[in-house]
């Protein structure tokens, strides 16, 4: 019996022996007399026992070496008593492993507040065995997720001194924003609690202590903090990684990312905040009077594991947060929304059903189509855009011609002329072109020493930071990096300036003509309001969703390029630090802060109502009066797969007029439409599911309409709720996608004191017989005061087997 030890009375799995402290042989007295009657037999017994002990020892070591953290997901809780739920989890593990002691050693987390499940150390065979237990929805291995890594608030219209506006009156008072991220640096002035209201009475969280973090680090701004690392420790314990970045076994932020996102969402007012003199001004979060709850589940170089993320969700639901912000995500290919491997979809579903609005970043794999993540319909998924602030930096050539790039490296420039050279001229190996974009080890140190080096990016595989390291190691004193349009500036150890190919070519032309080319690099300046904006950032991930193309993603766009916010100080001598960072990680907390403002003004609004208000009031127009553009390999007009409903407009979102509301039941019907099993949906939602009556996924009551497979005609239904004037009349304004006929029935919606919810349908028709790409349009309802706009995306197909051909 391979893998089992068979004895007289019972059999015991080898991998279960680790749970036994003492193993007893069961023998009667006659058997013992017979066994000791001869020395030969006795010797054989001793030998057998020695061999058995060796076998057990080897087997147990093998079991422990191959144990991994698995998440056992049980769906919605069976009861509201956390202690009973936890006891049930331990009973399951005890049944599997054979003893309470083994169960205690195996389990690392019990999820018992927002949903039911646990994370435990299991072998592959143990995981397969427990997957067959009654009530188990899914068992999956622990996986890693990555972080998507003050002028912006004025830019989007939230001004400190505005009056008569619901947004600026509330400033997020009474709301709690939870951040699942890398922690917080509590000494930052952005987390000062001066002027903050008392802690809300519905708060049930704690201020968890740890390394360099205690209860005094919480206040009326940071009202709670927890940290979750068991999943990360188990995942990386056998990798023998050398981590050169300091992190803390506590809620204290070791990398700065969580501090930045928290202060962006709800940082308090800080005068003269700046990054080395750049971007100086009043720093503040979107909801400066909202409270913060910190959930550290992401660690330096280790990312964020499923086990830790789910525990953070579980505790946030228990603690009583109103908004959750996650600048974290998966990568494609995506998992289904009932698959535990998408821990963000699962955790956010349970949070949403409890009335918590969950905001997530779209990902940083743009500008390629279908790269967007966090695509579940109950999430608010945020794309990143630029703002109207830039940091122009002068490059003066030896012929007195001045060209311009951008940089955030200040006080590093020598302000004098030095030699400038093109990287290919100083290549160590002229048989390849690795020196062109200054790849590591590609430059001749003798020729680079003391010079500014011009490099041309060949692709997005080499960035300005890596190139600057190459130049510095070769003895260069400055870098000019020519590349295709790419948003977000990075700081280097030597002066580094980013330019486009056009400016880079002009500099190269000068180098080729001059006998002794020289150049001077100036310090960057801060310029506001002179560049057309916003633009969709080149890195911002794009739709359509590869998992559910009938759900428009992203939902909304917000500032995410060169955003200044609080950061971990560079050294222990300073308690405050500010940094300029770029990413959809930075866009996400902007929307989380605005969601808190809306929640504060409308405390009874559901997560879907808040999402609807954001999407239907968003802007599609830049500061120059033209359509918002999307940056990438080529610049184009932004479409709904770039910006969703558009660029967030908080002043309009606070008073949207109409909202598209959706309930848990609506989301369950949507999951049924995707063909998921009744059992998996039932356990997810803790309710009896009937998927017999099939519904069309396009009819989920979203504030957008997407039809990925229009064959000839389709009818889409929606329902709107009046949240504006009681007696109001809205008319439909139709902008049909090119080549598609679009009819709205009825064309007028009349609301009064007894009728505040009304349905309508939209009929799409096409005679097109060729396969097409997505076309875009919109449907806007207006009462003369409000514009309630739903973005539309339609793709015409001609036969059933069409699949991205």
pLDDT digits (tens, 9 = 90+) for 472-531: 999 999 999 998 877 788 888 899 999 999 999 999 999 999 999 999 999 898 888 888
Report whether pLDDT(802) > 60: no
pLDDT tens digit sequence for 298-323? 998 668 999 999 999 999 999 999 99
Residue pair 427/459 in contact by the 8 Å Cβ criterion: no
Q: How far apart are CA 483 and CA 458, in angstroms?
A: 8
Q: Between the CA of residue 264 and those of 178, 190, 564, 730, what are the distances in Å?
A: 13, 9, 8, 36
Instruction: List strand residue ranges (DSSP E) for 45-149, in order.
Output: 68-75, 107-111, 116-122, 138-141, 144-147
Q: Is 327 an annotated catalytic residue?
A: no
Residue 300 in contact with residue 222, Cβ under 8 Å?
no
Mean pLDDT confidence for 723-740:
96
Q: Would the pLDDT of 157 be above 70?
A: no
Stretch 283-297: mean pLDDT? 93
pLDDT > 90 fraction of the chain, expressed in percent and rounded: 59
The pairing of strands 452-456 and 563-566 is unpaired
CA distance 290 to 280: 24
CA dihedral for 69, 71, 77, 79, sign (positive or negative): negative
Nearest to 263 by CA among 596, 590, 595, 537: 590
pTM more than 0.85: no
pLDDT (0 to 100) of residue 529 = 83
**Over residues 587-606, mean pLDDT:** 96
Where is pLDDT greater, at 378 or 153?
Answer: 378
> Does residue 26 surpass a pLDDT of 50?
no
Which range has highest mean pLDDT (63-67, 268-272, 707-711)? 707-711
Supply the pLDDT for residue 245.
Answer: 59
Neighbours of 709 (CB within 10 A): 14
Contacts of residue 416, defined as CB under 8 A and 6 or more positions apart, other chains included, come to 520
Three-class HEC string of 162-199: CCCCHHHHHCCCCCEEEEEECCECCCCHHHCCCCCCCC
pLDDT in tens, 352-397: 999 999 999 999 998 999 999 999 999 999 999 998 888 899 999 9
Confidence bin at 168 (pLDDT 50/70/90)? low
- pLDDT of amino acid 573: 53
Is residue 478 within 8 A of residue 521, CB to CB? The reply is: yes
What contacts 18, CB < 8 A, 6 or more positions away? 60, 63, 64, 102
pLDDT for residue 575 is more than 60: no
Query: Strand runs (DSSP E) across 391-534, as ranges?
Result: 392-397, 402-406, 418-422, 452-456, 478-482, 496-499, 518-521, 527-528
Is pLDDT above 70 for 752? yes
Q: Are 216 and 191 in contact (CB under 8 A)?
A: no
pLDDT of residue 786: 96
- pLDDT exceeds cutoff 60 at 730: yes
Is residue 36 over pLDDT 70? Answer: no
pLDDT reading at 265 higher than 80: yes
Catalytic residue among 113, 257, 647, 786: 257
d(CA 400, CA 665): 69
pLDDT of residue 476: 94
The pair of structure tokens assigned to 629 is 């553009």
- The CA-to-CA distance between both ends of the chain, in Å, stands at 53
Residue 48 has pLDDT above 70, yes or no: no
- Catalytic residue (one of 343, 585, 612, 673): 585
Please say if 90 is a catalytic residue.
Answer: no
Q: In this predicted structure, what is the pLDDT of residue 166?
A: 56
Catalytic residue, candidates 148, 181, 342, 437: 181
Which is higher by pLDDT, 19 or 689? 689
Report the alpha-carbon distance of residue 522 to residue 395 in Å, rounded: 7
Paired residues of 404 in beta bridges: 394
Q: Is 487 a catalytic residue?
A: no
Specify the DSSP class assigned to residue 685.
H
What values do phi and psi take at 635, rounded to 5?
-85, 140
d(CA 319, CA 178): 10
Taking only the tens place, the pLDDT of each residue in 605-642 is 999 999 999 999 999 999 889 999 998 878 899 999 99
What pLDDT is stored for residue 56 in this prediction? 40
Mean pLDDT for all residues in the chain: 85
Q: Stretch 555-573: mean pLDDT, rounded? A: 86
With a cut of 60, say whether residue 111 has pLDDT above it: yes
pLDDT at 49 over 70: no
pLDDT confidence of residue 237: 67
Confidence class for position 281, pLDDT limits 50, 70, 90: confident
Q: Which of 339-353, 434-448, 521-535, 777-791 has the highest mean pLDDT?
A: 777-791
pLDDT tops 50 at residue 238: no
668 has pLDDT over 70: yes
In this predicted model, what pLDDT tens digit does every residue of 440-462 receive, in sequence order?
Answer: 999 999 999 999 999 999 866 68
């Amino acid at each position: 019996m391979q893998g089992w030890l068979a004895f007289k009375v019972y059999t015991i799995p080898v991998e279960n022996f680790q749970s036994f402290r003492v193993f007893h042989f069961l023998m009667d007295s006659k058997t013992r007399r017979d066994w000791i009657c001869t020395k030969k037999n006795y010797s054989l017994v001793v030998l057998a026992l020695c061999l058995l002990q060796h076998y057990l020892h080897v087997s147990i070591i093998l079991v422990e070496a191959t144990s991994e953290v698995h998440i056992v997901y049980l769906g919605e809780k069976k009861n509201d008593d956390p202690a009973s739920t936890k006891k049930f989890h331990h009973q399951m593990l005890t049944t599997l492993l054979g003893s309470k002691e083994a169960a205690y050693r195996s389990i690392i987390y019990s999820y018992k507040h927002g949903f039911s499940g646990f994370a435990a150390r299991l072998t592959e065979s143990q995981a397969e065995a427990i997957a067959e237990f009654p009530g188990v929805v899914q068992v999956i291995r622990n996986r890693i997720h990555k972080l998507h890594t003050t002028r912006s608030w004025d830019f989007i219209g939230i001004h400190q001194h505005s009056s008569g506006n619901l947004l600026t009156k509330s400033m997020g008072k009474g709301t709690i924003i939870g951040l699942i991220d890398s922690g917080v640096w509590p000494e930052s002035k952005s987390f000062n609690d001066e002027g903050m209201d008392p802690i809300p009475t519905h708060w049930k969280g704690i201020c968890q202590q740890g390394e360099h973090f205690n209860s005094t680090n919480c206040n009326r701004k940071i009202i709670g903090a927890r940290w979750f690392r068991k999943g990360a420790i188990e995942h990386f314990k056998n990798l023998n990684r050398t981590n050169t970045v300091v992190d803390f076994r506590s809620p204290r932020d070791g990398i700065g990312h969580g501090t930045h996102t928290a202060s962006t969402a709800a940082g308090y007012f800080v005068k003269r905040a700046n990054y080395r003199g750049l971007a100086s001004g009043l720093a503040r979060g979107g909801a400066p009077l909202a409270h913060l709850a910190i959930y550290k589940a992401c660690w330096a170089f280790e990312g964020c594991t499923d086990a830790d993320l789910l525990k953070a969700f579980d505790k946030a639901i228990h603690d009583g947060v109103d908004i959750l912000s996650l600048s974290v995500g998966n990568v494609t290919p995506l998992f289904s929304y009932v698959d535990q491997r998408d821990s963000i979809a699962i955790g956010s579903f349970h949070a949403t059903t409890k009335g918590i609005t969950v905001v997530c970043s779209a990902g940083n794999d743009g500008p390629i189509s279908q790269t967007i993540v966090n695509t579940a319909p109950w999430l608010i998924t945020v794309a990143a855009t630029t703002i109207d602030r830039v940091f122009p930096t002068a490059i003066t050539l030896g012929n007195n011609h001045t060209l311009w790039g951008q940089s955030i490296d200040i006080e590093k420039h020598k302000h004098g002329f030095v030699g400038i050279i093109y990287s290919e001229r100083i290549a160590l190996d002229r048989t390849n072109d690795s020196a062109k974009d200054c790849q590591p080890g590609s430059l001749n140190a003798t020729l680079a020493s003391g010079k500014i080096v011009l490099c041309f990016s060949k692709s997005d595989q080499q960035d300005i930071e890596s190139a600057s390291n190459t130049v510095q190691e070769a003895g260069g004193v400055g870098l000019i990096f020519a590349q295709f349009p790419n948003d977000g500036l990075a700081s280097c150890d030597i002066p580094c300036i980013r330019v486009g190919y056009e400016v880079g070519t002009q500099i190269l032309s000068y180098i080729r003509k001059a006998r002794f080319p020289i150049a001077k690099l100036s310090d960057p300046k801060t310029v506001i309001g002179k560049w057309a904006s916003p633009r969709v950032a080149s890195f911002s991930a794009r739709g359509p969703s590869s998992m559910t193309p009938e759900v428009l993603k992203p939902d909304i766009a917000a500032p995410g390029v060169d955003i200044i916010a609080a950061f971990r100080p560079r050294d222990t001598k300073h308690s405050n630090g500010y940094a300029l960072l770029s990413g959809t990680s930075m866009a996400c907390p902007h929307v989380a802060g605005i969601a808190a403002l809306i929640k504060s003004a409308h405390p009874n609004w559901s997560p879907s109502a808040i999402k609807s208000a954001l999407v239907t009031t968003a802007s599609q127009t830049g500061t120059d009066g033209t359509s918002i553009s999307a940056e990438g390999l080529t610049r184009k007009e932004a479409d709904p797969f770039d910006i969703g409903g558009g660029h967030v407009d908080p002043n309009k979102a606070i008073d949207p007029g109409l909202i598209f509301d959706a309930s848990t039941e609506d989301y369950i019907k949507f999951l049924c439409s995707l063909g998921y099993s009744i059992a998996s949906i039932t356990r997810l939602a803790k309710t009896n599911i009937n998927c017999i009556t099939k519904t069309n996924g396009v009819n989920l009551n979203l504030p957008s309409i997407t039809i990925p497979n229009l064959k000839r005609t389709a009818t889409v239904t929606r329902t709107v709720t009046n949240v504006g004037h009681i007696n109001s009349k809205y008319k439909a304004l139709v902008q049909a996608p090119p080549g598609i006929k679009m009819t709205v029935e009825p064309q007028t919606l009349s609301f009064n004191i007894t009728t505040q919810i009304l349905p309508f349908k939209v009929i799409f028709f096409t005679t097109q017989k060729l396969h097409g790409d997505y076309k875009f349009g919109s449907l806007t309802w207006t009462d003369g005061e409000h514009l309630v706009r739903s973005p539309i995306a339609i793709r015409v197909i001609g036969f059933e087997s069409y699949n991205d051909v």
